[in-house]
């Protein structure tokens, strides 16, 4: 019996040493990345991070993955002054309960990868906006085991914006990410509104890009999305508008309005007391030529503020580069 116990212990100890060598030598890699990177706010929108384990060794790599991932993963998030953010209350409660931890063994063959996604808010409490550094710890033998230490991953940079503010109509109030100041719409003429919007996009200033853009009107350009929007309650509509803005930033939809021009010129402006159209030529420099597109922007006047509600695009051919 003693010999059998010693044999099993030697096999387990040998496996631990092989695992540690594979990790230390870089043959098994543990990395994290944002699953669907977007603009994050202090309020409770998910912050999804993908954990990726890659086996570059010549052998099969095995580890335990808990059904409740808080017993397989942990996150360390720190401010730029190296202050750690507090753990989420739900995480503390789970780990302090004396319950059985259910898990399954994952096998990753040589040259293969395995990944899963976690929400940072299940692990960390975000109370303040700011810039943070994020890393994960992976526990191959579960969180409660001390036989094999946790494995650290790479770092990610995370920016969390202040909680969204809403006006009396339930429309989010934009703030400047650089200064934190509230952006206020000015009584600009239609051509200057378009200039402001395009220039903001050239500088990747998304909060300024959206300042004179009506996301609800833009979303209604798609008949299916319009039907969905009208069927939602107030909370659902807000979520759809926020999703629309995030998809614009990721160039998933309406790429024509978010593509960045090299230069542009306003060539014509027409308006009355309530509506306006602004025509502009946008130039997009390629390697061997410059593409020309004519944009027509449609605006409506609301409380003496011109707001962009629609646009159209016509291809105008190409021109040689200067």
pLDDT digits (tens, 9 = 90+) for 89-125: 888 888 888 888 899 999 999 999 999 999 998 999 8
pLDDT digits (tens, 9 = 90+) for 228-282: 888 888 888 888 888 888 888 877 778 888 889 999 999 999 999 889 999 999 9
H-helix segments, 77-214: 89-96, 190-202, 206-209
How open is the CA angle 289-291-293, to the nearest 5 degrees?
165
The Cα diameter of the chain in Å comes to 95
Mean pLDDT of the chain: 83
* Whether the model pTM is above 0.75: no
pLDDT digits (tens, 9 = 90+) for 199-234: 989 888 888 888 899 988 988 888 888 888 888 888
Identify the residue whose tokens are 């335990």.
64
Q: What is the pLDDT of residue 13?
A: 47
Q: What is the pLDDT of residue 20?
A: 53
Q: What does the pLDDT average to over 168-183?
A: 54
Q: What is the pLDDT of residue 277?
A: 96
What are the chain's domains? 2-161 (2.60.40.2360), 165-319 (3.10.450.50)
Adjacent-strand bridge partners of 124: 87
Q: In what order do the strands lie in the sheet with 305-319?
A: 263-271, 275-285, 290-302, 305-319
How many whole angstroms separate alpha carbon 145 and alpha carbon 191? Answer: 65
């Amino acid at each position: 019996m003693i010999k059998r116990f010693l044999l099993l212990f030697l096999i387990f100890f040998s496996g631990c040493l092989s695992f540690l060598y594979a990790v230390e030598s870089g043959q098994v890699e543990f990395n994290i990345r944002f699953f669907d990177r977007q603009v994050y706010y202090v309020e409770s929108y998910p912050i999804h991070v993908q954990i990726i384990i890659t086996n570059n060794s010549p052998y099969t790599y095995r580890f335990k993955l808990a059904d409740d991932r808080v017993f397989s993963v942990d996150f360390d998030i720190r401010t730029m002054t190296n202050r750690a953010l507090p753990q989420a209350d739900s995480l503390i409660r789970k780990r302090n309960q004396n319950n059985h931890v259910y898990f399954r063994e994952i096998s990753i063959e040589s040259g293969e990868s395995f990944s899963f996604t976690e929400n940072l808010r299940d692990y960390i409490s975000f109370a303040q906006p700011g810039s943070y550094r994020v890393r994960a710890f992976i526990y191959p033998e579960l969180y409660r085991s001390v036989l094999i230490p946790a494995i650290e991953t790479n770092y990610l940079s995370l920016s969390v914006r202040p909680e969204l503010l809403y006006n009396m109509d339930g429309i989010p109030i934009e703030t400047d990410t650089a200064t934190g100041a509230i952006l206020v719409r000015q009584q600009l003429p239609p051509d200057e509104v378009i200039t402001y919007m395009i220039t903001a996009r050239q500088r990747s200033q998304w909060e300024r890009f959206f300042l004179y853009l009506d996301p609800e009107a833009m979303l209604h350009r798609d008949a299916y999305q319009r039907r969905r929007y009208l069927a939602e309650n107030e909370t659902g509509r807000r979520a759809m508008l926020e999703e629309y803005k995030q998809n614009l930033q990721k160039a998933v939809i309406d790429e024509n309005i978010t593509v960045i021009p090299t230069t542009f010129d306003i060539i014509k402006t027409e308006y009355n007391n309530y509506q306006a159209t602004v025509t502009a030529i946008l130039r997009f420099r390629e390697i061997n030529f410059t593409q020309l597109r004519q944009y027509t922007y449609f605006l409506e006047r609301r409380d003496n503020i011109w707001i962009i509600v629609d646009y159209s695009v016509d291809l105008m051919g190409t021109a040689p580069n200067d």
